[in-house]
Protein backbone atom coordinates (compact mmCIF):
# COMPACT_ATOMS: atom_id res chain seq x y z
CA UNK A 1 0.00 0.00 0.00
CA UNK A 2 2.66 2.49 -1.11
CA UNK A 3 1.54 6.03 -1.94
CA UNK A 4 2.47 9.68 -1.54
CA UNK A 5 0.02 12.33 -0.32
CA UNK A 6 0.80 15.92 -1.32
CA UNK A 7 -0.53 19.39 -0.61
CA UNK A 8 0.39 22.84 -1.93
CA UNK A 9 -0.14 26.29 -0.46
CA UNK A 10 0.04 29.26 -2.84
CA UNK A 11 1.23 32.81 -2.36
CA UNK A 12 -1.62 34.40 -4.30
CA UNK A 13 -4.54 33.59 -6.58
CA UNK A 14 -2.25 32.34 -9.35
CA UNK A 15 -1.84 28.57 -9.47
CA UNK A 16 1.80 29.12 -10.47
CA UNK A 17 2.67 30.66 -7.08
CA UNK A 18 3.31 27.72 -4.72
CA UNK A 19 5.02 28.81 -1.51
CA UNK A 20 4.94 25.47 0.30
CA UNK A 21 4.58 21.78 -0.42
CA UNK A 22 3.78 19.07 2.08
CA UNK A 23 4.35 15.37 1.45
CA UNK A 24 3.35 12.27 3.41
CA UNK A 25 4.73 8.85 2.49
CA UNK A 26 2.35 5.92 3.00
CA UNK A 27 3.53 2.34 3.27
CA UNK A 28 2.05 -0.86 4.70
CA UNK A 29 -1.10 0.88 5.94
CA UNK A 30 0.51 3.80 7.73
CA UNK A 31 2.00 7.25 7.16
CA UNK A 32 5.70 6.64 7.72
CA UNK A 33 7.24 10.04 6.88
CA UNK A 34 6.05 13.65 6.58
CA UNK A 35 8.01 16.54 5.08
CA UNK A 36 7.42 20.21 4.23
CA UNK A 37 9.46 22.46 1.97
CA UNK A 38 8.99 26.21 1.61
CA UNK A 39 9.13 27.46 -1.97
CA UNK A 40 10.18 30.90 -3.18
CA UNK A 41 7.64 31.99 -5.83
CA UNK A 42 9.15 33.55 -8.91
CA UNK A 43 7.45 36.94 -8.50
CA UNK A 44 7.26 36.91 -4.66
CA UNK A 45 3.77 38.43 -4.67
CA UNK A 46 1.78 37.38 -1.62
CA UNK A 47 -1.90 38.25 -1.24
CA UNK A 48 -3.39 39.18 2.13
CA UNK A 49 -6.03 36.52 1.69
CA UNK A 50 -3.53 33.71 1.16
CA UNK A 51 -1.35 34.88 4.04
CA UNK A 52 -4.41 34.84 6.28
CA UNK A 53 -5.11 31.24 5.26
CA UNK A 54 -1.66 29.68 5.71
CA UNK A 55 0.43 32.26 7.55
CA UNK A 56 3.37 32.15 5.12
CA UNK A 57 4.85 35.58 4.37
CA UNK A 58 7.50 36.75 1.87
CA UNK A 59 10.18 36.90 4.57
CA UNK A 60 9.61 33.21 5.34
CA UNK A 61 10.60 32.13 1.82
CA UNK A 62 13.34 34.65 0.96
CA UNK A 63 16.05 32.00 1.34
CA UNK A 64 13.98 29.06 0.07
CA UNK A 65 14.62 27.26 -3.21
CA UNK A 66 12.37 27.88 -6.20
CA UNK A 67 9.95 25.26 -7.50
CA UNK A 68 12.25 23.33 -9.90
CA UNK A 69 14.88 22.74 -7.23
CA UNK A 70 12.32 21.73 -4.61
CA UNK A 71 10.54 19.30 -6.92
CA UNK A 72 13.83 17.77 -8.10
CA UNK A 73 14.35 16.48 -4.55
CA UNK A 74 11.14 14.44 -4.79
CA UNK A 75 11.29 13.51 -8.46
CA UNK A 76 11.87 9.82 -7.83
CA UNK A 77 9.13 9.65 -5.21
CA UNK A 78 6.58 11.25 -7.53
CA UNK A 79 7.47 9.12 -10.51
CA UNK A 80 7.07 5.63 -9.12
CA UNK A 81 4.09 5.73 -6.78
CA UNK A 82 0.42 6.65 -6.50
CA UNK A 83 -0.10 10.30 -5.59
CA UNK A 84 -3.02 11.35 -3.38
CA UNK A 85 -4.40 14.84 -2.75
CA UNK A 86 -7.54 16.31 -1.19
CA UNK A 87 -9.21 18.34 -3.93
CA UNK A 88 -6.57 16.99 -6.29
CA UNK A 89 -7.70 19.25 -9.14
CA UNK A 90 -6.18 22.19 -7.23
CA UNK A 91 -2.85 20.53 -6.45
CA UNK A 92 -2.47 19.12 -9.95
CA UNK A 93 -3.28 22.54 -11.45
CA UNK A 94 -0.56 24.07 -9.25
CA UNK A 95 1.93 21.55 -10.59
CA UNK A 96 0.87 22.02 -14.22
CA UNK A 97 0.90 25.82 -14.04
CA UNK A 98 4.23 26.04 -12.24
CA UNK A 99 6.01 23.56 -14.47
CA UNK A 100 4.68 25.58 -17.41
CA UNK A 101 5.92 28.82 -15.83
CA UNK A 102 9.44 27.38 -15.72
CA UNK A 103 9.01 25.85 -19.20
CA UNK A 104 9.44 22.36 -17.82
CA UNK A 105 7.47 19.23 -18.69
CA UNK A 106 5.25 17.85 -15.95
CA UNK A 107 6.21 14.42 -14.63
CA UNK A 108 3.93 11.47 -15.30
CA UNK A 109 1.81 10.98 -12.20
CA UNK A 110 -1.11 8.69 -11.40
CA UNK A 111 -3.31 10.28 -8.75
CA UNK A 112 -6.57 10.00 -6.85
CA UNK A 113 -8.60 12.62 -5.03
CA UNK A 114 -9.60 12.02 -1.41
CA UNK A 115 -12.27 14.74 -1.62
CA UNK A 116 -14.12 12.78 -4.32
CA UNK A 117 -13.38 9.61 -2.40
CA UNK A 118 -14.77 10.96 0.87
CA UNK A 119 -18.01 12.06 -0.79
CA UNK A 120 -18.70 8.42 -1.69
CA UNK A 121 -17.33 6.74 1.42
CA UNK A 122 -18.89 9.07 4.00
CA UNK A 123 -22.03 10.26 2.27
CA UNK A 124 -23.63 11.13 5.60
CA UNK A 125 -21.24 14.03 6.25
CA UNK A 126 -22.58 17.54 5.62
CA UNK A 127 -19.12 18.71 4.50
CA UNK A 128 -16.23 16.81 2.99
CA UNK A 129 -13.58 19.46 3.59
CA UNK A 130 -10.33 17.96 4.81
CA UNK A 131 -10.78 19.23 8.37
CA UNK A 132 -14.33 17.85 8.60
CA UNK A 133 -13.45 14.41 7.24
CA UNK A 134 -10.38 14.27 9.49
CA UNK A 135 -12.54 15.10 12.50
CA UNK A 136 -14.88 12.28 11.50
CA UNK A 137 -12.02 9.76 11.47
CA UNK A 138 -10.60 11.19 14.73
CA UNK A 139 -7.41 12.60 13.25
CA UNK A 140 -6.27 15.98 14.61
CA UNK A 141 -4.06 18.28 12.55
CA UNK A 142 -3.26 21.95 11.82
CA UNK A 143 -5.30 22.87 8.76
CA UNK A 144 -3.56 24.79 5.92
CA UNK A 145 -0.09 23.73 6.96
CA UNK A 146 1.05 21.83 3.87
CA UNK A 147 2.77 19.00 5.75
CA UNK A 148 -0.15 18.54 8.13
CA UNK A 149 -2.66 18.66 5.29
CA UNK A 150 -0.71 16.02 3.39
CA UNK A 151 -0.59 13.84 6.51
CA UNK A 152 -4.35 14.25 7.00
CA UNK A 153 -4.98 13.40 3.36
CA UNK A 154 -3.01 10.21 3.78
CA UNK A 155 -4.97 9.27 6.90
CA UNK A 156 -8.26 9.86 5.07
CA UNK A 157 -7.19 7.53 2.26
CA UNK A 158 -6.12 4.87 4.76
CA UNK A 159 -9.40 5.20 6.68
CA UNK A 160 -11.33 4.79 3.42
CA UNK A 161 -9.32 1.67 2.59
CA UNK A 162 -10.09 0.19 5.99
CA UNK A 163 -13.79 1.03 5.74
CA UNK A 164 -14.04 -0.54 2.29
CA UNK A 165 -11.82 -3.48 3.27
CA UNK A 166 -9.36 -3.08 0.40
CA UNK A 167 -5.76 -4.20 0.75
CA UNK A 168 -4.07 -1.51 -1.37
CA UNK A 169 -4.85 2.13 -2.08
CA UNK A 170 -4.75 1.39 -5.81
CA UNK A 171 -7.82 -0.78 -5.27
CA UNK A 172 -9.86 2.18 -3.97
CA UNK A 173 -10.75 3.55 -7.43
CA UNK A 174 -12.05 0.12 -8.47
CA UNK A 175 -14.18 -0.17 -5.33
CA UNK A 176 -15.54 3.37 -5.73
CA UNK A 177 -16.10 3.28 -9.50
CA UNK A 178 -13.50 6.04 -9.74
CA UNK A 179 -11.26 6.80 -12.69
CA UNK A 180 -7.71 7.50 -11.57
CA UNK A 181 -6.31 10.84 -12.71
CA UNK A 182 -3.08 11.19 -14.65
CA UNK A 183 -0.82 14.21 -14.92
CA UNK A 184 1.59 14.05 -17.85
CA UNK A 185 3.67 16.24 -20.11
CA UNK A 186 0.81 16.61 -22.57
CA UNK A 187 -1.79 17.69 -20.02
CA UNK A 188 -4.04 16.24 -17.36
CA UNK A 189 -6.69 13.53 -17.30
CA UNK A 190 -8.70 14.37 -14.16
CA UNK A 191 -9.71 11.95 -11.45
CA UNK A 192 -13.45 11.37 -11.77
CA UNK A 193 -16.20 9.39 -10.10
CA UNK A 194 -19.03 7.75 -11.96
CA UNK A 195 -22.31 9.16 -10.72
CA UNK A 196 -25.36 6.91 -10.34
CA UNK A 197 -28.00 7.53 -12.99
CA UNK A 198 -30.64 10.06 -12.05
CA UNK A 199 -34.11 8.74 -11.45
CA UNK A 200 -36.45 9.46 -14.28
CA UNK A 201 -39.19 11.95 -13.59
CA UNK A 202 -42.65 10.48 -13.75
pLDDT of residue 1: 63
pTM given for the model: 0.93
Task: Name 21's Cβ contacts closer than 8 Å, sequence gap at least 6.
Answer: 6, 7, 8, 9, 36, 37, 39, 70, 71, 146
Q: What is the pLDDT of residues 101-156, one digit of tens each?
A: 999 999 999 999 999 999 999 999 999 999 999 999 999 999 999 999 999 999 99
d(CA 132, CA 129): 5
pLDDT for position 196? 62
Distance between CA atoms of 156 and 162, rounded to whole angstroms? 10
Is residue 201 predicted with pLDDT exceeding 60? no
pLDDT class of 200 with cuts at 50, 70, 90: low
Q: List the one residue out of 110, 112, 117, 115 whose CA is nearest residue 81.
A: 110
pLDDT tens for 52-63 read 999 999 999 999
Task: Answer for the pair 4, 84: CB distance below 8 angstroms, yes or no.
Answer: yes
Amino acid sequence: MRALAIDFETANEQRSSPCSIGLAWIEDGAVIRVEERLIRPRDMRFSRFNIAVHGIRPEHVEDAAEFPEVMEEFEDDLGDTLVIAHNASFDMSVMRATYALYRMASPDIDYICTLKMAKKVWQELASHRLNEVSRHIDFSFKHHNAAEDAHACGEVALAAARKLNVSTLRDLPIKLDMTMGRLHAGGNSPCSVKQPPKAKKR
